[in-house]
């Protein structure tokens, strides 16, 4: 069977040799090059299935190599960098890189799955190549700390409590912990999904006839998660009766179904998540202290987006790529002012709100000009539920004038014949100030 051939471009000899040896041991045929110029020559001289390249190289860097390779023929291209930032990630995506990895990476957990997906022809599916800690995107020190904690805690059996505001990525962290752990399966459940009377049967299972409607025995989520990880989302909303039963299950590592007598041993790693301040809930008497300490054997606090503004561009590039793929359209090219507008927003809904805003902006994007702040404003004006019909009309006129004036508020104001006071009042009232770089 012919081995897939990988062209590896890396100017550091020690790194090049280490990666080449690891790839060879994994069953690939490896062609190495000490810089982009040498890699381009080797690419033109022989057939290559995947190109793996460092970003920072002398003579011809990774982006230059990517552009040159694409002029010759299409081939999956994986770029990596130890100095990843928003500009590098964005330019790599624009140039056609299939995947982007942050160096140093782990060969088995990160590089090999990425190469496998590249060989499978999953063009553009960069998000699917990220597993484990790499799911939590960001170049800020805060994002790096979250990834470090994920890697440190993943191999342990200890329960982990993931704290953070709504939309901040707590489920991403939980999934990353599971994937890094190597456990068999992940079962996820939000405590708020069911009424209190149904929670116990859902989590612990029930025997036939345990209650009206229980026509057959059914294992609960703890049993289904045996050998794996159970994510209990919104644990801060668990009612008191459930808290007591959860504590017994966690302390004894065994479960008894509702209406049953048999006790079943469990091998389940629990990850709990909540947007609430559980310590404050304990002090207020709304959450059991003993359960809190049992769940919080280790804690990961996920910082809100406003505390890691350096990550907004990276997240936006990744989300825009995903959303563009879902709509069957090419990746868009945001203008620099678009990113400035994103960075100026406090994003109380965090990454979830950012995704919604970008999705709305794409609805208004004409597909030709660079994605601009006006596209964000258009989406906000159209979707803001607090605006009445008259306000909607005025907001749409303001956005259109702003667009026609190439983002110049003064020119847009004059075109509409509005006073400065009226423009400034409505601009702020409609929530446009934050999305236009804070101008008013």
Listed in order, the ranges of the chain carrying CATH 3.40.50.300 are 141-303
What would the mean pLDDT of 326-345 be, rounded to a whole number?
Answer: 75
pLDDT of residue 160: 96
The answer to whether 321 touches 126, Cβ cutoff 8 Å, is yes
Report percent pLDDT > 70 for the chain.
86
The answer to whether 130 touches 308, Cβ cutoff 8 Å, is no
The CATH number, out of the four listed (3.40.50.2300, 1.10.1040.10, 2.60.40.10, 3.40.50.720), of the domain defined by the range 5-130: 3.40.50.2300
Q: How confident is the model at residue 44 (pLDDT cuts 50, 70, 90)?
A: confident
pLDDT of residue 272: 96
Q: CA separation (Å) from 352 to 157, 168, 277, 304, 308?
A: 30, 7, 20, 11, 15
Cα Rg of the chain, angstroms: 26
pLDDT of residue 134: 86
- Per-residue model confidence as pLDDT tens digits over 287-300: 999 999 999 999 99
Report percent pLDDT > 90 for the chain.
31
Within 8 A by CB and 6+ apart from 417, the residues are none
- Per-residue model confidence as pLDDT tens digits over 379-419: 666 545 445 667 767 878 887 788 788 778 888 888 888 88
Question: Which range among 92-96, 226-230, 372-376 shows the weakest confidence by mean pLDDT?
Answer: 92-96
* Residues present in the chain in total: 440
DSSP character at residue 371: B
What would the mean pLDDT of 6-20 be, rounded to a whole number?
Answer: 94
| Residue 164 CA neighbour count, 13 Å, CB half | 29
pLDDT of residue 437: 47
Helix, strand, coil shares, percent, the chain, to 5: 50, 15, 35
d(CA 238, CA 234): 8
pLDDT of residue 389: 65
d(CA 171, CA 71): 40
- Per-residue model confidence as pLDDT tens digits over 242-257: 999 999 999 999 998 8
Q: How confident is the model at residue 121 (pLDDT cuts 50, 70, 90)?
A: low
Say yes or no to pLDDT of 90 above 80.
no
Say yes or no to pLDDT of 107 above 80.
yes
Question: Which range among 85-89, 127-131, 152-156, 325-329 shows the weakest confidence by mean pLDDT?
Answer: 127-131
The residue among 126, 68, 89, 322 whose CA lies nearest residue 51 is 68
Q: How confident is the model at residue 101 (pLDDT cuts 50, 70, 90)?
A: confident
More confident residue, 268 or 88: 268
The CATH architecture of the domain made up of 307-436 is: Orthogonal Bundle (1.10)
pLDDT of residue 243: 94
The answer to whether 300 touches 143, Cβ cutoff 8 Å, is no
Q: What is the largest CA-CA distance in the chain?
A: 78
- At the fourth CATH level, the homologous superfamily of domain 141-303 is P-loop containing nucleotide triphosphate hydrolases (3.40.50.300)
Question: Which range among 60-69, 370-379, 409-418 shows the weakest confidence by mean pLDDT?
Answer: 370-379
Say yes or no to pLDDT of 25 above 50.
yes
Q: How confident is the model at residue 438 (pLDDT cuts 50, 70, 90)?
A: very low
Q: Which two tokens stand for residue 301?
A: 């606090």
Q: Which two tokens stand for residue 17?
A: 């040799």
What would the mean pLDDT of 10-33 be, rounded to a whole number?
Answer: 91
Q: How confident is the model at residue 123 (pLDDT cuts 50, 70, 90)?
A: very low
Helices 86-95, 312-326: inter-axial angle, 10-degree rounding: 20
Q: CA separation (Å) from 156 to 63, 89, 146, 151?
A: 39, 32, 16, 10
Instruction: Respond yes or no on whether the N-terminal peptide bond of residue 278 is cis (omega within 30° of 0).
Output: no
The answer to whether 304 touches 165, Cβ cutoff 8 Å, is yes
Residue 299's Cβ-count burial label (10 Å; 0-12, 13-18, 19+) is: middle
pLDDT of residue 122: 40
Q: CA separation (Å) from 318 to 87, 142, 360?
A: 12, 18, 16
Number of H helices, E strands in the chain: 20, 14
Phi first, then psi: what are they for 330, rounded to 5°?
Answer: -65, 155
pLDDT of residue 236: 94
Q: How confident is the model at residue 86 (pLDDT cuts 50, 70, 90)?
A: low
Q: How confident is the model at residue 150 (pLDDT cuts 50, 70, 90)?
A: very high
- Average pLDDT of the chain, as a whole number: 83
Listed in order, the ranges of the chain carrying CATH 3.40.50.2300 are 5-130
What would the mean pLDDT of 279-290 be, rounded to a whole number?
Answer: 95
Of these ranges, 63-72, 116-125, 293-302, 415-424, the one predicted with the greatest mean pLDDT is: 293-302
Listed in order, the ranges of the chain carrying CATH 1.10.8.60 are 307-436
């Amino acid at each position: 069977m012919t081995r897939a051939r990988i062209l590896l471009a890396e100017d550091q000899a020690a790194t090049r040799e280490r990666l080449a040896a690891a790839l060879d041991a994994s069953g690939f045929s490896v062609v190495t090059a000490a810089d982009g110029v040498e890699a381009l020559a080797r690419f033109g001289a022989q057939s290559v299935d995947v190109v793996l390249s460092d970003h920072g190289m002398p003579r011809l860097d990774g982006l230059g190599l990517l552009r040159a390779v694409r002029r010759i023929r299409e081939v999956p291209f994986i770029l990596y960098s130890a100095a990843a930032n928003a500009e590098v990630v964005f330019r790599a995506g624009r140039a056609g890189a299939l995947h982007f990895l942050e160096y140093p990476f782990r060969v088995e957990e990160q590089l090999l799955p990425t190469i496998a997906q590249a060989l499978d022809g999953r063009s553009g599916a960069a998000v699917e190549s990220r597993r484990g800690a790499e799911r939590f995107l960001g170049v800020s020190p805060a994002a790096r700390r979250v990834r470090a904690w994920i890697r440190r805690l993943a191999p342990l059996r200890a329960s982990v409590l993931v704290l953070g505001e709504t939309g901040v990525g707590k489920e991403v962290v939980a999934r990353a912990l599971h994937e890094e752990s190597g456990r068999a399966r992940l079962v996820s459940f939000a405590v708020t999904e069911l009424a209190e009377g149904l929670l116990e049967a859902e989590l612990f299972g029930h025997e036939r006839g345990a209650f009206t409607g229980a026509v057959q025995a059914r294992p609960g989520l703890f049993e289904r998660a045996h050998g794996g990880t159970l994510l209990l989302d919104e644990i801060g909303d668990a009612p008191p009766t459930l808290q007591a039963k959860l504590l017994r299950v966690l302390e004894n590592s065994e479960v008894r179904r509702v209406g049953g007598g048999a006790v079943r041993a469990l091998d389940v790693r629990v990850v709990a998540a909540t947007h609430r301040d559980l310590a404050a809930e304990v002090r207020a008497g709304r959450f059991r202290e003993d359960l809190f300490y049992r769940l919080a054997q280790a804690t990961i606090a996920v910082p809100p987006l406003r505390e890691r503004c350096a990550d907004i561009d990276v997240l936006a590039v990744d989300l825009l790529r995903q959303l563009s793929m879902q709509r069957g359209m090419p990746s868009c090219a945001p203008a620099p002012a678009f990113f400035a507008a994103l960075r100026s927003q406090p994003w109380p809904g965090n990454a979830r709100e950012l995704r919604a805003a970008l999705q709305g902006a794409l609805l208004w994007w004409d597909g030709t000009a660079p994605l601009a702040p006006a596209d964000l404003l258009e989406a906000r004006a159209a979707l803001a539920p607090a605006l009445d019909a008259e306000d909607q009309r005025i907001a749409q006129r303001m956005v259109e004038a702003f667009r026609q004036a190439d983002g110049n508020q003064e020119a847009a104001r004059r075109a509409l014949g509005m006073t400065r006071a009226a423009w400034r009042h409505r601009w702020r009232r409609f929530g446009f100030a934050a999305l236009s770089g804070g101008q008013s």
